[in-house]
Structure 1
Amino acid sequence: MKITDFIPIRQALVVFFMLILIGMLLFLLSPVLIPRVSNVTAEQYIIPAIENCYAAANQNACYIQAAVTLAKRFQPSVVLQIVARNEKQPHIFQVCHEVLHFFGRAIFNRTKNVSRALIDGDATCFAGYYHGVLEGYFLENGLLGTIDDAFFAKKISSLCEQNDTTRTKKDVHECLHGLGHAFMFATDADLPRSLSLCDIFPRDDATWCYSGVFMENSTSATNKDHPSKYFKKDDPGYPCSILDEKYLSMCYTLQTQYVVNQNGGDWEQTFAFCQKIPRAYRKDCAMAIGGSISQYDPDPHSIKESCEKGPDSSDQKSCVDGVVGALGEHYNNPFDHVVTFCSILDVHKAACYQQMNNLMGNWSRDMHILQAGCDMISEAAYRTSCLQTLE
């Protein structure tokens, strides 16, 4: 039975064209009808997803789930910018590095382009995103167990080069640090082997790679699923005590962070640990305390009070230097945080601003940003000194 038996041909044509028109309108309006994530909605989604991991019973599983979900919904720049705006919140501050680490790995798994993934990221929350991207790259290339040195020399050594106008020295440093993490992952936590792989880079670059190796060793020392093979609970100076001299500065730096994690941020106890290691590395130890303090509490007054627990002026100054370095690495645009901290100091204010002058070239390649950072300094003498550094 035909439809034209019931509907006149003219009416049938009208219905036909109306259906076509409705279909076209639905097609054209589909971008409006399909829910889209605005910046406000993105923030309302991203921040709770990360905060939930703070109190999660299984934090590691929470990190992975949050990261995978965010990678499916948002571009890296959206997530990183929102986290950067909110990282002072305690529940974000303490877990954002781990979440962004897994987020970076998820982004690489989606794009399979390590260079693109690195360019799309930044150093928010101690560059957790960079670290995850590089670990994802190693997984993708099957770099577990035995590693072919020739492959690393050819492929890996160029991944972190400062080969464009946007990548800063800080970006390069964090990339190298991420490679250190990845080397440990690829070698099944073989610390001496991982350090040897870092040696494919020039000495200054290799040092940043060492930092990733030692941080990974320190982290895995408390991981029940993958315990470190280079860790002795009753000897906090190990494995530094068995390594070549060229590794010791960074080894004691990261070993200090392990001590902090073990004592829950007891700064007097950690300064006491520094007095027990070889004298040549006590400055590194005190600087590491400054870096750790800045991670535990973003409040500048609390950081100042904690550094003042150093047993002498030299330790306190090194602690201040470590704070400035850590703030510079932690925040994507650190000038406000650094200047605020330096401005409240008493004895070591000049040293604080000098450390800023020494390091700020690592934080940005944009002269306007650097000048704006100097202009934040209210004291004329320190502001002038900062600007002169740029000349």
Structure 2
Amino acid sequence: MVRSPESTGRVGRFVLALVMAALGLALLAGPASAHTSLVASSPASGERLAYSPDEIVLTFATAVDPRTVTAELRSADGEVVAVEPLSGETGDTTVVAFAVPRLPHAVYGLAWQSVGDDGHRVLGEVLFGVGTEVGGTTSVAGGATPMARALDSAGLALRIAWYVVLALLAGVAVVGRAGVAGDVARRRIGGLLLLGAVVALGRGGVALAILLEAGAGDLAWTSRGTVGFAAVGVLLGLLAVAASRRTAGPEARSTPTPALVGLLVAVIGGTLAGHALSREDPVLAVTFGILHLGAAAAWTGPLLVVLLVARTPAWRGLDAEERTAQLRASLRRMVPVAGWSLAVVGATGLLLAARAWSGIQGGVLAVLVVKALVVLAVAVPLGIWHHRTREGWVDVPRTARVEALGLVVALVLGAVLVGWDPGWSQGTGGLDPAVAAVLDGTADDPTLCMDLEVGRAACYRSTLSTVLATQGPQAAIDAAVAAQAVDSYVAENCHQVVHDIGNDAAEQIDDMADALAVDGSACWSGYFHGFIEARLAEIDDDALSDRLPTFCDGAADPQYSFTHYNCLHGLGHGLMLRVDADLFEALPLCRDLEEFWLVRSCASGAFMENVMAAQQGLQTPGVPTDDLRYPCTDVDADLSEDCWMMQTSMIIWRLGGDLPGAFEWCDSVDGLDRTACYRSMGRDISSIAALDPDGVIQRCSMGSADAAHWCIDGAASNAVYETSARESADALCAAVQEDWTAACEVSRDQALSTVALG
């Protein structure tokens, strides 16, 4: 039958409309979240930390939607530790961070997964040790859940079925006008399109289920994989209905056009709903993905269709001469398509492999090699042989079945590789150069960290560590103090930032006297505390008791100096970490120092660490929840004042910032404990008010009138210790009421003398 020009035009417009609809619906799902790889983490995999991290930061090669990145933290003994995602930028980002509670000494593994919006899952694990080496531990992760594994298996099965359907559609489109083979194939178009619709809807459903299982929430329902494959499934279903109507009834007429349209919709729509839009260069990735998949289907499908038709009664009913004629009619259509398809598959396959080469390793490489061997050693030689000998065929030769089997195996292996997704231009090449420099450990400019929504702790750790290594500890401390003045994050976390510098200095500087011979008093001497904490972690448990009495001798020149105190205070922090934050195990170790000034200095660090540990979810066993005076009411009487000098940070935190309520707890104790509590409130209020005199006075006035001046005294001391200078304390003492001025100035001068002593 000769088709009229009007009919041809209608078909062309119909094809164009369906293809454009597939494109549009697949793109309606919104921006693509990349399939990615982990290029860096803080802590790094295999790293030994002297202390528990506040957060774990993952940096990916390409941007991901943070809603689709989940993590589970486990210790080596299998205990699951709860982590919380930190809020960051809206939209895609390369940096995702998780808040971590205080971790006891052990080896830990953070099992992370990133789910692309087409439902593709990428997994990994970061191993690190707190106070211990990772050693021979290779994994502590629990792995994917049974449901996740089942969904991944279903996704692979549906992807294989999808490729086979595409191949069969291509086969019908190519041989659909070739005599008996075409007649048989055309009668199957409706069922084949319906099968394609079911598989497409299944792939969309699996993508939805994977995203829901990963906790993606509403994103799962609007993701590209869910919406894109649903759209393709609906279009193929409509085509199936139309094709079935054309082949039904006494005046049935059919053409292979619906198969061609279905192939275009499936290849283009399926590519857009899959990985390609996740790439750094999506236009190129989509183009080559469509060409590669379409060519593979066009090479495999016609041969499969001919082999299947050869098993039907209609074919077997032909005599030998008619079979030969029918076979040659099919081959005349198949051979040019196979030749061009082979060329396209080869060219695009080489490009895709080259672009993904940096992500290819292990099992991925093995499957890729097997696939290449099957194609090059089986399919290509047999294809060439069949091309040369086709004129002598009287029936489909058995070697054609071997070629078809090789092509199907290649399709299956391709489906496996797509599931693993080794990547497309992976690595740090797509990252901002400044971010890449931070990841490489070469950046020495902390101002790079200011604009980061998440991961600033890791960024400051990296850049300041580089400054430490290249310019020394004083330069690193000065850089942190400079950042404190311009970045609210550093202002709020200054002690921890310089604490990290101290941790790193313990690894880079061997001589304790050299490491402590700096002005490290800024940010409540966090540098000294971090250095001592890390150095203490290097001592074995068996040798600890013998080493404690002389541990700070290198910092005791002059004795009882601020540096000497900071060494002992840091020792208290470190001892708390050694005993997993059990205060009543740490304090007896401080007692081993014998001289009471040494004991008190060590205990002050233990008391501060007790507060910090509680704020991070780890605290002394048996802590009562209704008595905020604990543990100060249970420690030895000679250390209760030192305990109260730290306890208000705990009280304010537990009361959610209720300062009047905190003062009431101070008023519930007597004598020196009450004085210490008010002075401790002054220290905390000074930090809360950012050293602003009016803010300090207004908040200290919330306490009892007869004790508020002690709060001012504590604030004046803190102003000196926080800045290592007198200006902020001078401003405070000048602003207070006249009868408080003298006491304020005494506290200021005592703090200045301590700092000046070194």
Asked whether the two chains share a fold, i.e. TM above 0.5, the reply is yes
Counterpart residue identity of residue 344, structure 1: A
Do the aligned partners of 1:207 and 1:250 also contact (CA within 8 Å) in 2? yes
CA root-mean-square deviation: 2.8
- Find out whether 1:87 has 2:484 as its counterpart: yes
Do the aligned partners of 2:582 and 2:619 also contact (CA within 8 Å) in 1? no
Cα distance, 1:257 vs. partner? 1.3
Query: What are the within-5 Å matches in structure 2 for residues 217-236 of structure 1?
Result: 217-224=610-617, 226-229=618-621, 231-236=623-628
Do the aligned partners of 2:536 and 2:574 also contact (CA within 8 Å) in 1? yes
Alpha-carbon distance between aligned partners in 1 of 2:456 and 2:665, rounded to the nearest angstrom: 30
Alpha-carbon distance between aligned partners in 1 of 2:710 and 2:509, rounded to the nearest angstrom: 42
Alpha-carbon distance between aligned partners in 2 of 1:47 and 1:229, rounded to the nearest angstrom: 41
Question: What does residue 46 of structure 1 align with?
Answer: 446
1:339 to 730, 733, 736: 730
Do the aligned partners of 1:254 and 1:288 also contact (CA within 8 Å) in 2? yes
Alpha-carbon distance between aligned partners in 2 of 1:294 and 1:87, rounded to the nearest angstrom: 15
Counterpart residue identity of residue 210, structure 1: A
Alpha-carbon distance between aligned partners in 1 of 2:521 and 2:622, rounded to the nearest angstrom: 28
Percentage of matched positions with identical amino acids: 23
Counterpart residue identity of residue 152, structure 1: L
Do the aligned partners of 2:523 and 2:722 also contact (CA within 8 Å) in 1? yes
Number of aligned pairs? Answer: 313
- Find out whether 1:270 has 2:668 as its counterpart: no
Greater helix share, 1 or 2? Answer: 1
Query: What are the within-5 Å matches in structure 2 for residues 19-168 of structure 1?
Result: 45-49=445-449, 51=450, 56=454, 64-65=461-462, 68-89=465-486, 90-143=488-541, 148-153=544-549, 155-163=550-558
Question: What does residue 309 of structure 1 align with?
Answer: 702
1:260 to 652, 658, 664: 652
Which has the higher Rg, Structure 1 or Structure 2?
2
Relative to 1, partners in 2 of residues 1:108 and 1:245: Cα closer, same or farther, differing over 3 Å? same
Unaligned runs of 5+ in 2: 1-441
Cα distance, 1:328 vs. partner? 2.3
Do the aligned partners of 2:468 and 2:501 also contact (CA within 8 Å) in 1? yes
Alpha-carbon distance between aligned partners in 2 of 1:360 and 1:276, rounded to the nearest angstrom: 31
Alpha-carbon distance between aligned partners in 2 of 1:150 and 1:52, rounded to the nearest angstrom: 47
Q: Greater shift after overlay, 70-79 or 294-303?
A: 70-79
Do the aligned partners of 1:70 and 1:103 also contact (CA within 8 Å) in 2? no
- What secondary structure sits across from 1:241 in the alignment? coil
Alpha-carbon distance between aligned partners in 2 of 1:270 and 1:65, rounded to the nearest angstrom: 37
Could you tell me the TM-score, scaled by structure 1's length?
0.72
Question: What does residue 605 of structure 2 align with?
Answer: 212
Cα distance, 1:84 vs. partner? 2.7
Could you tell me the TM-score, scaled by structure 2's length?
0.38
Question: What does residue 382 of structure 1 align with?
Answer: none
Greater strand share, 1 or 2? Answer: 2
Cα distance, 1:176 vs. partner? 1.9
Counterpart residue identity of residue 327, structure 1: A
Question: What does residue 281 of structure 1 align with?
Answer: 673
Cα distance, 1:326 vs. partner? 1.4
Alpha-carbon distance between aligned partners in 2 of 1:223 and 1:44, rounded to the nearest angstrom: 29
Question: What does residue 35 of structure 1 align with?
Answer: none
Alpha-carbon distance between aligned partners in 1 of 2:719 and 2:472, rounded to the nearest angstrom: 25
Q: Greater shift after overlay, 75-84 or 211-220?
A: 75-84
Deviations 1:146-189 (A, max 9, x none): 66422222x3141431339xxx8322222221111011122332
Cα distance, 1:227 vs. partner? 4.0
Do the aligned partners of 2:446 and 2:460 also contact (CA within 8 Å) in 1? no
Deviations 1:311-368 (A, max 9, x none): 21x3211001101221222222x211211111111141222112223443212149xx
Q: Greater shift after overlay, 77-86 or 126-135?
A: 77-86
Alpha-carbon distance between aligned partners in 2 of 1:213 and 1:198, rounded to the nearest angstrom: 9
Alpha-carbon distance between aligned partners in 1 of 2:579 and 2:546, rounded to the nearest angstrom: 15
Cα distance, 1:59 vs. partner? 7.1
Relative to 1, partners in 2 of residues 1:317 and 1:43: Cα closer, same or farther, differing over 3 Å? farther
Alpha-carbon distance between aligned partners in 2 of 1:231 and 1:71, rounded to the nearest angstrom: 39
Counterpart residue identity of residue 733, structure 2: C
Question: What does residue 570 of structure 2 align with?
Answer: 178
Alpha-carbon distance between aligned partners in 2 of 1:278 and 1:66, rounded to the nearest angstrom: 47
Question: What does residue 632 of structure 2 align with?
Answer: 240
Unaligned runs of 5+ in 1: 1-41, 367-391
Alpha-carbon distance between aligned partners in 2 of 1:48 and 1:362, rounded to the nearest angstrom: 35
Relative to 1, partners in 2 of residues 1:331 and 1:174: Cα closer, same or farther, differing over 3 Å? farther
Cα distance, 1:65 vs. partner? 4.5
Question: What does residue 38 of structure 1 align with?
Answer: none
Do the aligned partners of 1:88 and 1:298 also contact (CA within 8 Å) in 2? no
- What secondary structure sits across from 1:221 in the alignment? helix
- What secondary structure sits across from 2:633 in the alignment? helix
Alpha-carbon distance between aligned partners in 2 of 1:223 and 1:62, rounded to the nearest angstrom: 21
- Find out whether 1:291 has 2:683 as its counterpart: yes
